[in-house]
Structure 1
Amino acid sequence: MNRHLAYQYLQPPYPTSNFLLKIRQSSTPSLLALMTTFSKSVIVAAIMMVTTSSFAGSSKLAERIEALNNSQLKTYSFLEVMYDDGYFPKPLVEQSEEILVTLCEQIETHKPKDLQQLYELTRAATARFNDLQVDFLAMGSEIETVARENIAMDFEAISRFYGFQADSEELIGNREW
């Protein structure tokens, strides 16, 4: 499904607002606008449609992982604890994994020469996790202790597999979760 189908799903009998136009123009709806306009079941359905449309299943993500140059990361299980825990919505865990895979791709593209350059890349990835926290909350979950430790462990593994001995707290230093 694509974002246009999500838009069609949310058309009347539900109230029409400027928010609907936003959904049509963007692949990520404003969850706060959703929460003030629609019922919880409609919100969850819309989130599921939009998040699943962003990733054509995990096969596309698997292809990106397979394309990485780092052989250790090709066999690494990202966010294993979060995938195994039903508390975390699978589409959001998949988006979280996508953030980590994107970080790997950026490390391979930009080839940071020192920890400072690596930290710039990890701060950008952490900011994406900060943004994702709103989606977790909207779906009755959150990036809490278990998730935080799993994410930090994966950031540390990524840095180690690319030859850096980075401080794990510094890797996610700008986290808001």
Structure 2
Amino acid sequence: MDKIKLIITQVVHFLEEGKHSIEEVQQKLDEMTIAINELQNEFYQNDSEIETVARDSIGITVEEILQYFELDIDIEDALRKREW
């Protein structure tokens, strides 16, 4: 979970840099989601997976980030690349 936290934190730092277009933010969210997807393979190698609680937590965290930065992006769009 520390790796997931680091990936999400990178998005927050990106947003803190200043004004970005919605397209740029969506691209960063897609990159974040793909990186989390890739971690899922690591979980599988260790006979684990990103469980339901973790999936929900990621979704809630991303939704809170969108709200905090007042970004008009639907959570389903924000996580559109997810495979978990």
TM-score interval (norm. to shorter): 0.7 to 0.9
Q: 2:30 aligns with which of 123, 131, 150?
A: 123
Structure 1 match to 2:20: 112
Q: How many pairs align?
A: 84
Structure showing greater radius of gyration is 1
Structure 1 match to 2:74: 167
Task: Report the alpha carbon displacement of residue 108 of structure 1 after superposing the two structures with TM.
Answer: 2.0
Q: Give the whole-Å Cα distance in 2 for the aligned partners of 1:164 and 1:110.
A: 12
Q: Give the whole-Å Cα distance in 2 for the aligned partners of 1:136 and 1:110.
A: 34
Structure 2 match to 1:98: 6
Q: Give the whole-Å Cα distance in 2 for the aligned partners of 1:125 and 1:111.
A: 19
Task: Summarize deviations over 1:32-91 as a string: whole Å, max 9, x none.
Answer: xxxxxxxxxxxxxxxxxxxxxxxxxxxxxxxxxxxxxxxxxxxxxxxxxxxxxxxxxxxx
Q: TM-score if structure 1 supplies the norm length?
A: 0.44
Q: What is the correspondence of 1:1-177 to structure 2 with a 5 Å cutoff?
A: 93-109=1-17, 111-113=19-21, 115-177=22-84
SS of the equivalent of 1:175 reads: coil
Structure 2 match to 1:38: none
Q: Give the whole-Å Cα distance in 2 for the aligned partners of 1:119 and 1:109.
A: 15
Task: Report the alpha carbon displacement of residue 110 of structure 1 after superposing the two structures with TM.
Answer: 5.7
Task: Report the alpha carbon displacement of residue 140 of structure 1 after superposing the two structures with TM.
Answer: 2.2
On the 8 A contact 1:155/1:168 being kept in 2, the answer is: yes
Q: Give the whole-Å Cα distance in 1 for the aligned partners of 2:2 and 2:49.
A: 14
Structure 2, gaps ≥5 residues long: none
Task: Summarize deviations over 1:81-114 as a string: whole Å, max 9, x none.
Answer: xxxxxxxxxxxx001100010011112236323x
SS of the equivalent of 2:17 reads: helix
Q: CA separation of 1:140/1:110 partners in 2, compared to 1, >3 Å: closer, same or farther?
A: farther
Q: RMSD of the alignment, in Å?
A: 1.5
Structure 1, gaps ≥5 residues long: 1-92
